[in-house]
Structure 1
Amino acid sequence: MSEWVSPIRMRDRSLSRPPASLTRQFALTGSAIMLVAMMTAGLFIAEMVSKATIENTASATALLLDSILEPLTQDLVTEEVLPAKQTAELDQLLGEDQFKERFPYLEIWKASGLIAYSTTPSLVGQRFTPPEGLVRALEGKVSAQYADGLERSNLIRNISGKYLEIYIPLREDRSGRVIAVAEIHESTASLEHELWWLRLKSWLVVGGATALIMMGLFGIVYRGNQLILLQRRQLQERLVEIEQTNRHNRILRDRARRASGRVAELTEDYLRRIGADLHDGPAQFIGLAALSVEHVRRAQAPAEREKELESLSSMLLEALRDIRTVSKGLMLPEIEGLPLPDIIGRVVSDHERRTGTKVDVHCGEISGAPTDAIKICAYRFLQEGLNNAFRHAGGNGQAVTCTLDGSALHLAVQDDGGTGTSGVAGLDFGLGLIGLRERVESLGGVFCVSQRTGGGTRVEMTVAIAEESQDG
């Protein structure tokens, strides 16, 4: 047969499995996503920074050379190539070291693709397919791009190295019309160094921003994960408490069921004992008294009749005494409105009066109002405990202790042991320790009997008290 597992236990087992940490999940997935985002943003920003730097460099170069070239190229309004005088001036200017190092190649194009001037004399007068930068410059826009080494004009000049091609529109003074385009090859050594630093700074900014965002999100997720783990632990502890409470309730329910059955059995036994006591005691005396009535009726002499009447009275008094003894054990005094300390005092005083012994009472403050069932249970417990202490220990060292720990009521009767006493009327009510145990456990309490060190017995009960609900 398969073992039945409660749903609470199944949930508890499922909660006890170690879950994948949200912090670890976020660290892995979030890092991957943020890394991709950082690479994308870094590449985009680096590209934008490079493009902006190149455009700024081209604009600065265009502004510098436009002021130099435009005055020398006004003759191209009517001429196809630059006249010799202007060519000599340009050669002299561009031949200086500071220009030649920065601008090693320079061509002036006509709109038709004709080269009107070049620092490479063999290109002057040749026609080439207008490059894209030339087309844009003819529209009045400054454009810049890295030199294409496979372009025909660059192949002729055998250009090696990395240069920035800048196309600058040259305008007529009077009309502002574009009459030619200057193509300048600028050395990129300083530009590449500047771009490298700009790219590095942009990557550092993007990386730092990404790290800050990641740390902030990680902190939020970490705190959320800690809160979830805390709530999870609290939920597990709560489920364990619920499981323990359910187990305890099942034990109490089974115990109460067994106690109820035992109480029913004890009640039946008790009723049979009462019937036997009434039958063997008062009934016998009453039967004898009934026979004595006939003897009284037949008596002739007054002395004989008086003797029979005295015998009849004696038997009736004996029957009455037995009936009172039996009924005394069945009846409880009026304890409904009494607090528990007063009930304890009444039981103790009755016991001391009947037995002539002394009982030490140690009763703490009892707050709240126990139910009538608990009061009756305490009354019977003290009765039986003190009677046993007198019967089996001769009343030696009798003591009653009553304390309240939270909602748990502890009541104990103990003695120091000794020689027992028998034959005291009115002490044996037939309840017994077994009946007491069943009575206490039927209320959800605990009953125990233990031997004290040095001799003597201690009988103790513990039960949770509950205040009675008052209708109002």
Structure 2
Amino acid sequence: MLDTFRRRAETWSLNKRFLIIGGLVILLSMTLVGSWITSRIAGNAVAGAGSATALFMDSFITPLAQELDTADVLSIGPIRALDELIASPSLQGRVVSIRIWKPGAILAYSSDETGLGRKAEPREDMLRAFDGTVAATLVDSIHDGPARIPAGQPLLEVYSPIRANWTGKIIAVAEVYEAATRLQAGIRRTIMEGWIAVLAVTAAIGASLFGIVANGSRTIERQRAALQEKVEQGQSMLAEIDRLRQRSMRASGKVSDILEARMRQVSADLHDGPAQLLGLVALRLDSLATLDDPQARRAEIAVMEGALAEALQEIRHVCRGLSLPDLQAVQLNDIPDQIISLHERRTGVVVEKDIAVASRPVPHAVKTCLYRFIQEGLNNAHRHAPGAAVRVTCRLAGDRLEARIANGATRDLPPAPPRESTGLGLTGLKERIESLGGQFGFELAGQGAAVLTMDLDLSGEAFHA
């Protein structure tokens, strides 16, 4: 949402930007300044009224509370004097309640309740008064007292320290509740006047700034129109230059990709084709030494000769710069059956298969990748788990080509002896698949059991042959 607002704001004129964004900033500033000023006005008014009340009541209460320097509660004489003082015409209707607290929040006198000598939880304002500070607050009820005042009547709560006459030590704190209807009305009136003044000053500042911005906006618009004409003249040339640059970059990238892909292809083709066939011949040589039947030996030699001839043919194709085998005229759905049949003829092993691939035009790289995947998986299963059941699954669902080769563990036959690795088997196959944006998986269990998986997404434009 912020990006959308920013893009839309970029199309606005300077006048409109200032009117909306500047207006919001000015309005926020006015609100903050006005709130701070009015809060200061209210706070100072309450503090001033509290100081006046404390000074006024101190002249009556302090002389009557001097005995609290040694006593916890007032005696009957000062109590009656304070009661008569509150009931006097000068204070009646003005002072609602008076309490006197000893240090430790012990109630020494109360005009509106009994329970002298009880201990209460000290409040923050009371503690400030015991530290020598007059604390005043506007409240709507007497704290921890009888609700005998009309609902909604504001009160000024004042905590004032009472000091000993000769030593100046704080011997008690007076808690006075004074009717504050007039005080509250005066604060509201002053706050309203303060807001009017802040609004007027803010409006004057905003109008002055808008006039300056409007004049600057007109100048900018004239200059923008003059520059726009010159920019449009060069746009066609810049567009042509950009098209040529993009074509050059794509051509350079394709050349680099083709060279790298060709090098990987030659390396993988040499291993996946001739090297696999030579490995098959090497396996046959191991078993040839144990054969005593001349006919079986001739049959074994015939298989090896065929493999060697096919390896030689593949090497010749690679040397001519061709992918092996020639899959240009082969449909995608025919590739799994072709390589499985070839493997069965070479090894005599029957391969279980579950093929569900429809005919679909795909690039030659995809055909080669599928061919090499099945070839590598079958050869590895025959080499590392001879005699084990092998199953090939290949499906094309929509734009996703999935292939899976799984072989079981060897049972009666010993595992094949380890051979030196060329480093191009599964690593080269993984690189071939991932170069096409696919995913390669390999899971190995005990006694040669393994699962090889491939997953290719053919939805990209590069896979539409």
- Which structure is richer in relative contact order (CA contacts within 8 A, separation 6 or more)? 1
TM-score, L = length of structure 2:
0.45
